[in-house]
Every structure is written in structure tokens, then in C-alpha cells.
């Protein structure tokens, strides 16, 4: 497996509230995560940083996974644990009040690959020249669309289109989406600084370019986000699962 990660503050924001991790444990399992801090001036970078720091330590200390159920339980347990940690900080310190973060990513193990998501950062998979979105945005817009209360056209300019209905640290408890996925050629995790400005088709074109390295594809995605205006922090984590693609 080959991977590359990059983050950029963008061209407008003063602080980068995105954080990421690419870490391997002692048993050859890999964990890739992206966290996009929310709360504006309310320490979004603290929330995302605390989540990534927590998983960096926890995953390095993890034992050998012997069953799929162990992996899913591990991810669910630690999502809830870090959620409570961030929430407690936001309650304890006035300067952190209201902070939170998205959390998305994937784990690659001998037992298969797994995706987790809480918020509106995304994981995409690429297999046989097909692009698949492996996460659903936890947004008010998605909820209204699924309930048939608004149309797709109405969603494009809805005043609450960026409102999250689920994120790490904004409540005492949270439930992330955790599931196993089939084998992929590439896996991509990114903050909405990428997918909010660069279309799925543009992302697909860059990832499936067979002439470019994993590092160059990652850099090209980041650069295209900046070219589109750089209105948000952008983080891109790309892993090539097979060497012959």
C-alpha cells in the first residue's frame, strides 16, 4: 500500500482547523482519519487536534484484531470515548464552548477495510475506474432530502445547507457510521474544503490518471481546491491499495 496526505489552510481562513492521521500499529493495520473542526472561532482546531491525537495514541496501542466484530467494536467504542473527551473540554473551558469536529476515515487490516464517518467530511472509493462515495453527509440538507421535504434544486442554495446534524464533541453521546467495505483500488478521505468545491467528476479524473503518482494526485486535488477559490481549509488523504493500478 502507498499513501500520501496533505492539508492546507486555503486562501481565506486565518487558521487551519483540519487535522489528519495516517498511522500503523504493530500488526500491520493502518488507520487514516480526517477531522474538520467546527465552531468558527470556538477552537475548532482544538477539537480536531484532540481527536487525532487520541486516535494516534490509541491505535498504536491496539492489540491484534482477530474478528471483524472486534474492529467495528474498537471504532465505535473509541469514537464515543473521544466524543466525550472533546465534549468535556468544551464544557470545562469557556474558550472551547461549542467546539466540535467532523471525523471520517478508513482502517485497512488483514480482515478487510472499514469506513467510519461522523459529519460531512467524506470517504470515496475507486475500483475498476468506478468512483463510489462510501459515506453519507450528516447534514440537515441530506435529512430533508431523504424525507422528501425539499428538492435537490432547493438544496443547492438552502440557507442551512452546511448545518451538521451529527459531529464529534457537540453532545455527550454520538453514534458514527461504521461499516466494512469491499476491496478497492484507491481510498480517499477528505474534508469539505475539497468536495465542497471540486466536483466528483474532477476528483475521479485526477485519481484515475494512471500517469501520476499517489503523491502527485493528492497535491493536484489540493491545488484544484485552491484554484477554485481556496475558501476553506482542505485536507486530502489518499491510499493506493493495489500497486498495479
Q: Among the residues of the chain, which ranges form H helices? A: 44-60, 68-92, 140-146, 152-156, 192-195, 200-207, 214-227
pLDDT band at 148 (very low <50, low <70, confident <90, very high): confident
What pLDDT is stored for residue 39 in this prediction? 66
> What does the pLDDT read at residue 102?
97
Q: What is the pLDDT of residues 80-106, one digit of tens each?
A: 999 999 999 999 999 999 999 999 999
From the number of C-beta atoms within 10 Å of its C-beta (0-12, 13-18, 19+), residue 94 rates as exposed
Cell representation of residue 173: 453521546
CATH code that applies to domain 2-135+169-240: 3.60.40.10
In this model, does residue 27 exceed pLDDT 80?
yes
User: What is the pLDDT averaged over residues 183-205?
Assistant: 97
Residue 207 near residue 127 (C-beta atoms within 8 A): no
Asked whether the predicted pLDDT for residue 74 surpasses 80, the reply is yes
CB 185 within 8 A of CB 128: yes
How would residue 41 be classed by pLDDT, with cut points 50, 70 and 90? low
pLDDT at 229 over 90: yes
What Rg do the C-alpha atoms of the chain give, in angstroms?
A: 17
Amino acid at each position: 500500500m502507498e499513501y500520501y496526505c496533505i492539508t492546507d489552510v486555503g486562501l481565506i481562513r486565518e487558521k487551519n482547523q483540519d487535522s489528519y492521521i495516517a498511522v500503523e500499529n504493530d500488526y500491520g493495520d493502518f488507520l487514516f482519519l480526517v477531522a474538520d473542526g467546527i465552531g468558527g472561532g470556538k477552537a475548532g482546531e482544538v477539537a480536531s487536534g484532540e481527536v487525532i491525537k487520541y486516535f494516534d495514541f490509541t491505535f498504536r496501542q491496539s492489540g491484534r484484531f482477530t474478528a471483524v466484530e472486534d474492529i467495528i467494536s474498537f471504532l465505535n467504542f473509541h469514537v464515543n470515548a473521544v466524543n466525550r473527551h472533546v465534549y468535556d473540554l468544551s464544557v470545562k473551558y469557556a474558550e472551547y464552548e461549542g467546539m466540535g469536529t467532523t471525523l471520517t476515515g478508513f482502517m485497512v487490516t488483514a480482515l478487510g477495510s472499514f469506513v467510519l464517518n461522523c459529519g460531512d467530511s467524506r470517504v470515496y472509493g475507486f475500483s475498476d475506474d468506478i468512483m463510489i462515495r462510501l459515506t453519507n453527509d450528516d447534514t440537515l440538507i441530506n435529512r430533508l432530502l431523504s424525507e422528501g421535504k425539499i428538492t435537490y434544486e432547493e438544496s443547492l442554495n438552502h440557507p442551512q445547507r452546511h448545518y451538521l446534524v451529527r459531529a464529534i464533541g457537540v453532545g455527550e453521546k454520538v453514534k458514527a457510521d461504521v461499516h466494512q467495505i469491499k476491496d478497492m483500488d484507491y481510498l480517499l478521505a477528505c474534508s469539505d474544503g475539497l468536495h465542497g468545491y471540486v466536483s466528483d467528476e474532477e476528483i475521479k479524473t485526477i485519481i484515475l490518471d494512471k500517469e501520476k503518482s499517489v503523491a502527485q494526485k493528492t497535491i493536484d486535488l489540493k491545488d484544484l481546491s485552491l484554484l477554485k477559490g481556496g475558501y476553506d481549509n482542505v485536507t486530502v488523504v489518499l491510499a493506493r491499495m493495489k500497486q498495479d493500478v
